[in-house]
Structure 1
Amino acid sequence: MNTPIAVDARNIGKIYATGKDAVTALGDVSISIEKGEFFTLLGPSGCGKTTLLRCIAGFETPTSGSIHLSGRDITYIPPNQRPVNTVFQSYALFPHLSVAQNVGFGLKMLGKPAGDVAKAVARVLALVKLEDFADRLPQQLSGGQQQRVALARALAPEPEVLLLDEPLSALDLKLRKEMQSELKRLQTETGITFVFVTHDQEEALTMSNRIGVMSQGELLQVGTPHDIYEHPVNRFVADFIGETNFLEGVVEGHQVRIGTGDALDVVLDGQVGAVTLAIRPEQVSLTTAGAGIAAQIAETTYLGTDTHYDLKLGDGSHIIARVQSKSAGTFNVGDTVSIAIDAKAVQVLKS
């Protein structure tokens, strides 16, 4: 059975200004987001992810294309008439109103009866675990608590879709990690479709059911965190998602010969000629000198559970290996080692 679609953006284009001043923010982007999904738009600053989110919210009107919500065309419907709410990086809480009053403000503006407002406020404050803070003012709360108030306010009207525009970027690392778990819990418990925008790959991998990677106004790849990480479609995605080694080579039969002269076993899918190999550091195994690609350890970096080795190859290029520290104590700077890489761990990309 097919999962119903919550958001269906079809051939969305967005151009700012005209003539020689024209700037293309989105170029023919199409994407379908399922109901009840935690979907993340991921990419660097200026890639178009926030513009797409604002088009879904109604704060921007696409230059071309259309946006459908649960099958209904909402392209030209004003933001306040869409069953969509947005949580921004700035919490924008009213400093003179209590937590409960902030959460209930939108419902009050919609003309909801006082009893219904009170019930909704109690429900969402319990959801974000702030029942005991209902009478406090925003300045009496921590940054993480203020963010939860903003979430509660957005969830109170029970929107079909909740849009989140880099809402965690203002928090410190510890709070950000706590809020990642909190957001995923809220999405699971409410069943509301979340569309999350971030440039932080770890946030995307941690929370998302699926990820859409964007660059320069284009949607490059959509897939599960596992698919995006393990099977990137091009060099940009491989480089943006996690740490990656790149080696240039030429296809020879069922192998790829790299700059050192070594031939690596790879899984080819019809690629010929010059290719780029993408290899994750954790897929690089080290042994004492023997069979494999010869390398010299140029630098070691101890990171607690892992140790990173900067390895210099025979042609002067470098590759990074990430090895669990408990098994990494025998290698030191200057040592000669052999590199082994499983063929299935190598992604072959067009150069």
Structure 2
Amino acid sequence: MTATPAIETRNLSKIFGSGDGEVRALDDVSLEIGENEFFTLLGPSGCGKTTLLRLIAGFETATSGELLLYGKDISHEPPYRRSINTVFQSYALFPHLSVAQNIAFGLEMLDRPKAEISKTVDEMLAMVRMEAMAHRKTSEISGGQQQRVALARALAPHPKVLLLDEPLSALDLKLRKEMQRELKRLQVETGITFVFVTHDQEEALTMSDRIAVMSAGKPLQVGSPREIYDTPSNRFVASFIGESNFLNAIISHVEGGAARIVMPGGTQIDAVLPAQAPREGAVTVAIRPEQIELLPEGTPDTISGTVTDTVYFGTDTHTHLRLENGETIVVRQPASREGRAACERGETAGIRFADGAVRVMEDTP
């Protein structure tokens, strides 16, 4: 990243408590978040993503390390002196005020001129497509509309960075998907850096320019959605983003970035070998379910397995198989695909992996 990052953390740590009760919520985190970037902090509960967001907002103070906004150290600046706004999970709207009054509230606290406030409120209402609701109280509108108002209120002062703390979690599935598109549209239109916190991998993949997958207080991998999904650096990332099958294998030969490995049943295949992965011996490999082909029993160069279950998802069918060594594997196929191998429970079928689909994990079981 050549330009000055919008947000930069340098060896940032946050410790709660002391002694036996000490909790290291953030552990020596160094990240760069670019200008006009939709950056997502993704991970399970307790991984440190919300703590990092609160440090950026100024609601918490770091135990050690630095926090920079466009190159300026803001580690000890109070929240109101940072050009950073936050949209909370609860929205925190004023139910007795109208939509327009809620949007204007922050601008009034900043003593902006009335003409500027009026103009900005109109711009924000148009941006979130809420012009017709301007005079309705926020207690009289839907959850999705309330979320739009919260976004408009946070964007109205034109902050340099907008933080979003799981703002879609209270919405139903259909509305959540609609708001995912809206959030990305708003980020592109405003040019403001968005830092989004979620535990939902689909939200992260569909909206983000880059994702930081976090665990135990630190980012394990940072990259584009495609990089994170296609080339996970370790088992945690491979299992948290999408679905993965993990199998035991043995490396028999290494050449460059590829390894010849022996799979269950003795089948030998080529696997991608990341720089930090083991170069010999027993390893764990990961394969995405959609990168496996289900074939009739006895097809050459396949691994044999017994079907234990078939689950229909509408668009996909998931076939679960037990391999000869007792390991299990899931194959995902489009439900409309014709000519598939028989997949009734108890039947035997063969599986074959797509070229480049098998990846040696950095960590062994």
TM tier relative to shorter chain:
over 0.9
Give distance in 1, aligned partners of 2:179 and 2:219: 27
Give distance in 2, aligned partners of 1:266 and 1:205: 25
Report the equivalent of 1:315.
325
Residues 1:129 and 1:202: Cα distance change in structure 2 (over 3 Å): same
Question: Contact 1:267/1:343 (CA < 8 Å) preserved in 2?
Answer: no
Report the equivalent of 2:342.
331
Displacement of 1:75 in angstroms is 0.4
Question: 1:15 aligns to what SS in structure 2?
Answer: strand
**122-131 or 252-261: bigger deviation:** 252-261
Amino acid at match of 1:317: E
Report the equivalent of 1:273.
281
Displacement of 1:335 in angstroms is 2.6
CA RMSD of aligned residues (A): 1.3
Question: 2:8 aligns to what SS in structure 1?
Answer: strand
Report the equivalent of 1:341.
353
Give distance in 2, aligned partners of 1:56 and 1:331: 54
Displacement of 1:269 in angstroms is 4.7
Report the equivalent of 1:74.
74
Report the equivalent of 1:4.
4
Displacement of 1:151 in angstroms is 0.3
How many residue pairs were aligned? 351
Report the equivalent of 1:262.
267
Displacement of 1:266 in angstroms is 1.5
Question: 1:188 aligns to what SS in structure 2?
Answer: helix
Report the equivalent of 1:283.
291
Report the equivalent of 2:256.
none
Displacement of 1:261 in angstroms is 3.0
Question: Contact 2:180/2:207 (CA < 8 Å) preserved in 1?
Answer: yes
Unaligned runs of 5+ in 2: 254-258
**143-152 or 252-261: bigger deviation:** 252-261
Give distance in 2, aligned partners of 1:141 and 1:331: 51
Unaligned runs of 5+ in 1: none
Give distance in 1, aligned partners of 2:128 and 2:274: 48
Deviation string 1:147-196 (CA, Å, 9 cap, x unpaired) is: 00000000000000000000001111111111100000000111100000
Deviation string 1:79-131 (CA, Å, 9 cap, x unpaired) is: 01100000000011111110000000010011111111111111011000001
Give distance in 1, aligned partners of 2:219 and 2:96: 42
Question: 1:62 aligns to what SS in structure 2?
Answer: coil
Amino acid at match of 2:262: R
Displacement of 1:343 in angstroms is 3.9
Amino acid at match of 2:84: V
Give distance in 1, aligned partners of 2:188 and 2:271: 39
Give distance in 2, aligned partners of 1:280 and 1:269: 16
Give distance in 1, aligned partners of 2:304 and 2:249: 17
Displacement of 1:264 in angstroms is 2.6
The two structures have a TM-score, normalised by structure 2, of: 0.94
Report the equivalent of 1:95.
95
Q: How does 1:137-216 map to 2 (within 5 A)?
A: 137-216=137-216
Report the equivalent of 2:15.
15
Displacement of 1:257 in angstroms is 1.8
Give distance in 1, aligned partners of 2:180 and 2:95: 25
Give distance in 1, aligned partners of 2:238 and 2:295: 26
Displacement of 1:338 in angstroms is 1.2
Give distance in 2, aligned partners of 1:139 and 1:173: 22
Give distance in 1, aligned partners of 2:177 and 2:196: 15
Give distance in 1, aligned partners of 2:333 and 2:343: 13
Displacement of 1:272 in angstroms is 1.7
Give distance in 1, aligned partners of 2:187 and 2:5: 16
Amino acid at match of 2:41: L
Give distance in 1, aligned partners of 2:109 and 2:273: 59
Give distance in 2, aligned partners of 1:202 and 1:3: 29
Report the equivalent of 1:122.
122
Question: 1:326 aligns to what SS in structure 2?
Answer: coil
Displacement of 1:330 in angstroms is 4.7
Question: 1:104 aligns to what SS in structure 2?
Answer: helix
The two structures have a TM-score, normalised by structure 1, of: 0.97
Amino acid at match of 1:327: R
Question: 1:2 aligns to what SS in structure 2?
Answer: coil
Amino acid at match of 2:291: Q
Give distance in 1, aligned partners of 2:341 and 2:303: 18
Deviation string 1:218-262 (CA, Å, 9 cap, x unpaired) is: 110000000000111110000000010000111011422234333
Give distance in 2, aligned partners of 1:259 and 1:93: 57
Give distance in 2, aligned partners of 1:17 and 1:2: 38
